[in-house]
């Protein structure tokens, strides 16, 4: 089989790493990939949002399977376009991808399906939104409806913050058309977890639970990032929470999508907020999480291609997932300045030494090769991932590996998986 993987992050490197292990696969392409993916696959310089060029490439190179990493190509309808040409693709069609592409759509489906989530109201004009905020009072969370690269969510503790968020999204149009309407919702407190499932539109199979670390600094301080680290499993997802997440969230969601005429095949990722043993949904994503995928796929023992084929052929009910019982932890190493402005092009030292550490893989994200040498090329640069007998073991190993790696300005959180250790 020839496989094309779309994307260039740590998630996509982890997908590529699993894909090359499949006995069914003899060639892997990545578009556009990174320096880590270049070691195990052939990288082609096509932007993930350039659906027409990806389509052309897949047809010309007789690609047997395309795995879509990020949400943007899915919301742009890559699955629809590929399927029209008889190409096999892993990821939902455009109508399904709306679950992530529009917060208003996600909320509407949740209401229809009776899925526990924050109460909300939808606005497209600033004045009625501000009137609503005055009536409700803070804390509230204000979200741009469309995709805003993770920057369109404003948890507001004060009225001033809330008014400013409305101005930035609806009046100043900071996020363009993604901000032509907003969702204002109730503020939920608790502990977050990522509950990521496979579905073929009928059967739902959960992957192991995980937890991301969104704020940039230790102790969950500072601005939000794409994710500074993750571990799996997440002990906050107890057997009871798992049962509630399946019965009250995932199964009703897939049933409701299906009865709305949406044949959803691929990944559904529920961002959960857990308090008093109750999970509420913060958001749905239509793809794997980054960095959650790194520890999850490190623990997955099945052939990834078998699972993906079962999803596409709608025989997921035949699959049983095998997971390494050992926990895994991923620490993201980022460019100085990230998530704000940062410089690129710094040489990365110590990759080989880190790779030599047992039960450890260094997944690349924002890296590229300059005359054969890996250099930084993005905000999140590496996702160092280790397994251990216990979460403590995995944490000790991962930070031993992280300490081997260096470049000018590198920063990372030193408390990844602390919450799990406390439990």
Tell me which residue of 214, 126, 207, 198 sits closest to 163, measured CA to CA. Answer: 126
Give 11 or 387: the residue with its C-beta nearer to ligand GLY: 11
Give 38 or 192: the residue with its C-beta nearer to ligand AMP: 192
Q: Tell me how far, at minimum, the Cβ of 210 lies from ligand GLY, in Å.
A: 9
Q: Which stretch binds ligand GLY (CB under 6 A): 19-27, 289-297, 376-384, 395-403?
A: 289-297
Give 12 or 292: the residue with its C-beta nearer to ligand GLY: 292
Which parts of 292-331 interact with ligand GLY (CB under 6 A)? 292
Cβ atoms < 10 Å from Cβ of 136: 15
DSSP 289-324: -TTTHHHHHHHB-S-HHHHHHHHHTT-GGG----B-
Q: What are residue 204's DSSP bridge partners?
A: 199
Instruction: Note whether 353 and 404 are within 8 A (CB).
Output: yes
Cβ atoms < 10 Å from Cβ of 259: 10
User: Strand 42-43 and strand 27-32: pairing?
Assistant: parallel
How far apart, in whole angstroms, are the C-alpha atoms of residue 73 and residue 47?
Answer: 10
Q: Tell me how far, at minimum, the Cβ of 253 lies from ligand AMP, in Å.
A: 16
48 is a contact residue toward ligand GLY (CB under 6 A): no
The interface partner of residue 292, options being ligand GLY, ligand AMP, none and the CB cut-off 5 to 8 Å by kind, is ligand GLY
The residue with tokens 């308090």 is 275
Give 46 or 253: the residue with its C-beta nearer to ligand AMP: 253
Give 225 or 367: the residue with its C-beta nearer to ligand AMP: 225
Residues within the interface to ligand AMP (CB under 6 A):
118, 141, 143, 153, 155, 185, 187-188, 192, 214, 271, 282-283
Identify the residue among 33, 179, 289, 339 touching ligand GLY (CB under 6 A). 289
The interface partner of residue 267, options being ligand AMP, ligand GLY, none and the CB cut-off 5 to 8 Å by kind, is none
227 is a contact residue toward ligand GLY (CB under 6 A): yes
285 is a contact residue toward ligand GLY (CB under 6 A): yes
Give 185 or 292: the residue with its C-beta nearer to ligand GLY: 292
How far apart, in whole angstroms, are the C-alpha atoms of residue 21 and residue 360?
Answer: 16
Q: Do you find a cis peptide bond into 291, omega within 30 degrees of 0? A: yes
The total number of residues written for the chain in this structure: 423
The interface partner of residue 290, options being ligand GLY, ligand AMP, none and the CB cut-off 5 to 8 Å by kind, is ligand GLY
How far apart, in whole angstroms, are the C-alpha atoms of residue 370 and residue 298?
Answer: 28
The number of CA neighbours under 13 Å toward the Cβ of 349 is 7
How far apart, in whole angstroms, are the C-alpha atoms of residue 154 and residue 81?
Answer: 34
Give 54 or 118: the residue with its C-beta nearer to ligand AMP: 118
Determine the 3-state secondary structure of 66 from DSSP. Answer: strand
Q: Tell me how far, at minimum, the Cβ of 218 lies from ligand GLY, in Å.
A: 18
The interface partner of residue 166, options being ligand AMP, ligand GLY, none and the CB cut-off 5 to 8 Å by kind, is none
192 is a contact residue toward ligand GLY (CB under 6 A): no
The interface partner of residue 41, options being ligand AMP, ligand GLY, none and the CB cut-off 5 to 8 Å by kind, is none
Q: Tell me how far, at minimum, the Cβ of 301 lies from ligand AMP, in Å.
A: 29
Q: How many residues bind ligand GLY (CB under 6 A)?
A: 6
Q: Tell me how far, at minimum, the Cβ of 65 lies from ligand GLY, in Å.
A: 22
Give 162 or 398: the residue with its C-beta nearer to ligand GLY: 398
User: What's the distance, Cα to Cα, between the start and end of the chain in Å?
Assistant: 43
Determine the 3-state secondary structure of 243 from DSSP. Answer: helix
Instruction: Note whether 25 and 19 are within 8 A (CB).
Output: yes
Residues in contact with ligand GLY by CB under 6 A are 212, 227, 285, 289-290, 292
């Amino acid at each position: 089989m020839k496989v094309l993987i779309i994307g260039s992050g740590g998630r996509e490197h982890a997908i590529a790493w699993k894909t090359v292990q499949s006995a069914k696969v003899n060639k892997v392409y990545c578009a556009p990939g990174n320096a880590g993916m270049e070691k195990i696959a052939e990288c082609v310089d096509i932007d993930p949002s350039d659906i027409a060029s990806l389509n052309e490439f897949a047809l010309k190179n007789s690609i047997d399977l395309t795995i879509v990493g990020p949400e943007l190509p899915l919301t742009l309808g890559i699955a629809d376009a590929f399927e029209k040409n008889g190409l096999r693709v892993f990821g939902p069609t455009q109508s399904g991808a709306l679950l992530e592409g529009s917060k208003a759509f996600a909320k509407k489906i949740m209401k229809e399906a009776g899925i526990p989530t924050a109460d909300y109201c939808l606005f497209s004009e600033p004045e009625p939104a501000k009137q609503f905020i005055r009536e409700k009072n803070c804390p509230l969370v204000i979200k741009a409806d469309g995709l805003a690269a993770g920057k369109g969510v404003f948890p507001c503790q004060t009225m001033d913050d809330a008014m400013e968020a409305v101005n930035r999204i609806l009046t100043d149009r900071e996020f363009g058309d993604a901000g032509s309407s907003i969702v204002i919702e109730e503020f939920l407190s608790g502990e977050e977890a990522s509950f990521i499932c496979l579905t073929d539109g009928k059967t739902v199979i959960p992957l192991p639970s995980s937890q991301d670390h969104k704020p940039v600094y230790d102790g969950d301080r500072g601005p939000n990032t794409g994710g500074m680290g993750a571990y799996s499993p997440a002990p906050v997802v107890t057997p009871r929470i798992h049962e509630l997440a399946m019965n009250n969230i995932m199964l009703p969601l897939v049933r409701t999508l299906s009865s709305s005429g949406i044949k959803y095949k691929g990944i559904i990722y529920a961002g959960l907020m857990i308090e008093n043993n109750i999970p509420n949904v913060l958001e749905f994503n239509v793809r794997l999480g980054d960095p959650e995928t790194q520890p999850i796929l490190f623990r997955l023992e099945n052939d990834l291609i078998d699972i993906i084929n079962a999803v596409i052929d709608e025989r997921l009910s035949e699959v049983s997932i095998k997971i390494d019982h050992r926990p895994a932890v991923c620490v993201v190493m980022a460019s100085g300045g990230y998530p704000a402005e940062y410089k690129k092009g710094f040489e990365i030292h110590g990759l080989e030494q880190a790779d030599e550490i047992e039960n450890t893989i260094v997944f690349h994200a924002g890296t590229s090769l300059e005359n054969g040498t890996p250099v930084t090329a993005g905000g999140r640069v590496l996702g160092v991932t280790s397994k251990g007998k216990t979460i403590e073991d995995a944490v000790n190993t991962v930070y031993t590996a992280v300490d081997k790696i260096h470049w000018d300005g590198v920063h990372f959180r030193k408390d990844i998986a602390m919450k799990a250790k406390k439990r």
